[in-house]
Structure 1
């Protein structure tokens, strides 16, 4: 029987749409199954860890019981990995760190076991761990991305840029905008000297735009560099232009190779007004500005922003060591971006 005789070359009306929907449902079911399997595994590890703790505490079992348990479990389940003495000790530490089963089920179990091990190894206390758990689940960070953000002190830098958002944006948008900015920004993918010019920095950032987006944080989508704005017949060029998917607004980034000066805000304010007039759609929020400079006086920056009538943040940037070649980024796919914009 050939293909034509069974109709493979000419599907019936509506078949293509049905197939697309069916594939989407299968994919979603696979994702749900994977999440469910991970949650069950993490909860199992937590229960094992809790029972080890209880027996060592209540019945005086010594530390060597873990070595014996590892040997017996591997003998009983030779095809299942994860019962090494080291991993059993992680299970015990995991149960000790999170005594509340409800929190484990609702939050920690949403992350793969490897992520939870990183949190145990790298972070000292529950509040800091809770913050990184929330961010990792929210932004679907890979383990390497989680590790990078911990090592780069993301929590300590988030929301620290000087800004005037509170007086120029609605509260919900102001809070999100403030949380979306850091200070300082750490550029560990640039091989530039301390005397690098602004255009050199810009070129390096765009050459490594994937890493730059990762440092900017979730929600930023790259629009372009040296973006042309035609204002009354005169041409102006925005250094770097982004769109923030959560804030639903354009973000203009202006680079300064030296220390912050109040006069820098005049040019950036003009760019924000021009983007609002020339590029902004009616449903977009007000365009936000981010001035990145090599250094700043906090008080001077606060005074300069106080009477400025555009939403702007001022932050420093630093050079640090190069990123690991194995870094897995958490950048959204085109499909994810489209879903965000359609939501």
Structure 2
């Protein structure tokens, strides 16, 4: 071993064990918060003097305990944590028993043993086994309490299960988890019919490297609240107006990195004016994105129009440090073979995607997700 090898092995050891220590601390905090919720619910149901506190219980606890971090907000989330994830009882029971067993006889914590006994009693008298769910061990070893707070905001248990799985499979940060929830990742996965494909696509969307990573196959505009009957009479300029009236939701749906520049962008080609429906700049790809919205199925003439716009931007607008512009054509339906033959051989990047004004049914989503979590 030389000096450089010594530096490398010490650095690697430090980083690996530090990561393990952080993970262990996060798991201990999650267990602590579940137990706090357990204590609170037990007191609310069986406490000798519970009537004296009523709705002020959590605030009184904060004042009496008076420790940094142990506050009314944490107690509320901990209480909900216990109620939403009762299946953690078996895991907590095993953990409490294990910790107690490692203590000497003199120092053994009676309170800890009481926890184990109480939870064991709950397990014997209640059915905490949840079919078609992710195991408590997998959840608590892979998801932080900050993630659990976002997950607990979801009332639908199947939907919550999907985002649990998504967090585990893709390593979402808390911010990315919020974004996936806001972008209706759960609702759109029902259309793919292939969970592995959907998860791979989501990983690419979180950290896009190419235009293919950025563009989705399907877009949902359910936030426009357009009834199915009204959709049949919708005009293109009306759809554009509605999308821009809901610009925040629209950009969330488009994905990470989109910055809006213009609507009906006027360009002069020769002696004739043309208008591009919408222009965005993608801050990660460093490229303009020209978006055309059609209220009809795909037609090869649409590509010719968009192709001319991309060539114009490449020649007249693109800055030296920009990447070539990208075109997105949004249509109500498409013939994949026709799209393939129409766009084959084009120098410019043109993507054809479908948009929908309605979401898939709850049963479609439930069947797909329950099939996937049986791992």
Total equivalences in the alignment: 255
Whole-angstrom CA distance in 1 between matches of 2:183 and 2:309: 33
Which of 277, 280, 302 matches 2:318? 280
Whole-angstrom CA distance in 2 between matches of 1:181 and 1:139: 17
Whole-angstrom CA distance in 2 between matches of 1:313 and 1:289: 6
Residue 79 of structure 2 is aligned to residue 45 of structure 1 = no
CA contact (8 A) 1:228 1:235 kept: yes
CA contact (8 A) 2:33 2:78 kept: no
User: Greater CA deviation, 176-185 or 92-101?
Assistant: 92-101
CA contact (8 A) 1:159 1:179 kept: no
Which of 188, 200, 216 matches 1:182? 216
Distance 1:199 1:308, change over 3 A: same
CA contact (8 A) 1:226 1:240 kept: yes
Query: Could you tell me which residue of structure 1 aligns to residue 82 of structure 2?
Result: 88
Query: Could you tell me which residue of structure 2 aligns to residue 149 of structure 1?
Result: 184
TM-score under structure 1 normalisation? 0.60
Whole-angstrom CA distance in 2 between matches of 1:160 and 1:132: 12
Query: Could you tell me which residue of structure 2 aligns to residue 265 of structure 1?
Result: 303
CA contact (8 A) 1:202 1:255 kept: yes
Whole-angstrom CA distance in 2 between matches of 1:254 and 1:160: 26
SS at match of 1:295: coil
CA contact (8 A) 1:229 1:275 kept: no
Which of 266, 275, 287 matches 1:228? 266
Shift of 1:299: 1.7
Whole-angstrom CA distance in 1 between matches of 2:281 and 2:190: 23
Q: For residues 256-302 of structure 1, give each alpha carbon's deviation from its aligned partner in whole angstroms, at most 9, with x where no partner exists.
A: 11110122111101111111122211111111111000111122212
Whole-angstrom CA distance in 2 between matches of 1:203 and 1:48: 47
User: Greater CA deviation, 270-279 or 43-52?
Assistant: 43-52
Distance 1:127 1:140, change over 3 A: closer
Shift of 1:318: 1.0
Whole-angstrom CA distance in 1 between matches of 2:295 and 2:190: 26
Query: Could you tell me which residue of structure 2 aligns to residue 109 of structure 1?
Result: 144
Whole-angstrom CA distance in 2 between matches of 1:235 and 1:156: 39
Distance 1:148 1:178, change over 3 A: closer
Residue 330 of structure 2 is aligned to residue 292 of structure 1 = yes
Query: Could you tell me which residue of structure 2 aligns to residue 237 of structure 1?
Result: 275
Considering only CA atoms, is the larger Rg found in Structure 1 or Structure 2?
2
Query: Could you tell me which residue of structure 2 aligns to residue 202 of structure 1?
Result: 240
SS at match of 1:247: coil
SS at match of 1:99: helix
CA contact (8 A) 2:258 2:283 kept: yes
Whole-angstrom CA distance in 1 between matches of 2:264 and 2:77: 55
SS at match of 2:320: coil
TM-score under structure 2 normalisation? 0.56
CA contact (8 A) 2:292 2:306 kept: yes
Distance 1:282 1:319, change over 3 A: same
Shift of 1:189: 3.0
**Structure 2: runs of 5+ lacking an equivalent:** 1-23, 51-56, 63-71, 92-133, 199-206, 360-375
Shift of 1:131: 4.9
